[in-house]
Amino acid sequence: MIKVDIQTETLDYHNEEAYKALRTNLKFCGNDKKVIGITSCQPSEGKSTVSLNLSKSLAESGEKVVLIECDLRKPVLIGRTSVNGGDVKGLTYFLSQQATLNEVVCGTNIENLQMIYAGPVAPNPAELLGSKYFKAAIEALRKVFDYIIIDTPPLGAVIDSAIIAQNCDGMAIVLESGKDSYHFVREVKDQLDKAGVPILGVILNKVEISKNSYYGRYGKYGKYGSYGRYGYGEKKAE
């Protein structure tokens, strides 16, 4: 198995606490919520960052985790980690049946954490993700891991996330503070409802703590915000 190094620089206090809160809230969602998709309305809201840090945080708490990079259109993990020798193939290789699942799973320097890179950009990501091979991969990984964290593309931009969601037990929506309109978020929520997958919560990201006395005062929510149990709009996300 190819081994990957993930930078283990420590997060600042607020971020560290926010990820612990996120991890705890996820665990409270119940142990039938194992396959978790991370999406957002727009690009660059922080899906890949949150997916990686959440995966690390869960692994550090003793859970066996695999992170799958399913943003096949804009892969970033390969640039944010370093591969120790070997040829990393990635998910597109498996989905196009050019590699086995075992060949695309990489070990990491973090105990309990494994990951699957997106692989080379393919011309037909939605088709690959809708294939029986993707479904089969998730089913096989479910038997081995406590959590499968799936980094996806923005749902407001491409359909891939809704396709991925059909294989997830729940989705979390990353919202960059101040970026998305109410209607945009509502549309994304409706799309996930149509896919029939529960929204586990929203993750408020890139919150400027110094500008926000509420977050600052309590010192409880970090830049990543927290992972609300209510993501439905009727109740305020925690």
Ligand X SMILES: Nc1ncnc2c1ncn2[C@@H]1O[C@H](COP(=O)(O)OP(=O)(O)O)[C@@H](O)[C@H]1O
Minimum CB distance to ligand X smaller for 109 or for 177: 177
Asked if 226 touches ligand X (CB under 6 A), the answer is: no
Residue 138 Cα to chain centre, angstroms: 14
Task: Tell me phi and psi for residue 113, to 5 degrees.
Answer: -115, 125
224 belongs to the binding site for ligand X (CB under 6 A): yes
Range 74-113, binding ligand X (CB under 6 A): 76
Q: Does 176 bind Mg ion (CB under 5 A)?
A: no
Residue 169 interacting entry, from ligand X, Mg ion, none, C-beta within 5 to 8 Å by type: none
Number of residues that bind ligand X (CB under 6 A): 13
Q: Which is nearer to ligand X, 75 or 170 (CB)?
A: 75
Among the residue ranges 42-50, 93-101, 142-150, 184-192, the one whose residues contact ligand X (CB under 6 A): 42-50
Between residues 64 and 179, which has the closer beta carbon with respect to ligand X? 179
Which of 71, 160, 169, 180: binder of Mg ion (CB under 5 A)? 71
Among residues 124, 142, 117, 125, the alpha carbon closest in space to that of 31 is found at 142
Is 8 an interacting residue with respect to ligand X (CB under 6 A)? no
Interface with ligand X (CB under 6 A), residue from 17, 43, 73, 187: 43
Structure tokens belonging to residue 151: 């980094």
The CB-of-117 to ligand X minimum distance in angstroms stands at 14
Residue given tokens 């420590």 in the structure block = 10
Binding partner of residue 206 among ligand X, Mg ion, none, CB under 5 to 8 Å per kind?
A: ligand X
Nearest to 69 by CA among 106, 42, 99: 106
Compare residues 134 and 224 and give the one whose CB is closer to ligand X: 224
**Smallest gap, in angstroms, from Cβ of residue 177 to ligand X?**
9
Nearer to Mg ion, 105 or 118 (CB): 118
Q: Based on CB atoms, which residue is closest to Mg ion, 41 or 215?
A: 41
Cα–Cα dist 37/195, whole Å = 12
- Residue 48 touches Mg ion, criterion: CB under 5 A: yes
List contacts with Mg ion (CB under 5 A): 47-48, 71
> Which residues of this protein are in contact with ligand X, per CB under 6 A?
40, 43-49, 76, 205-206, 223-224
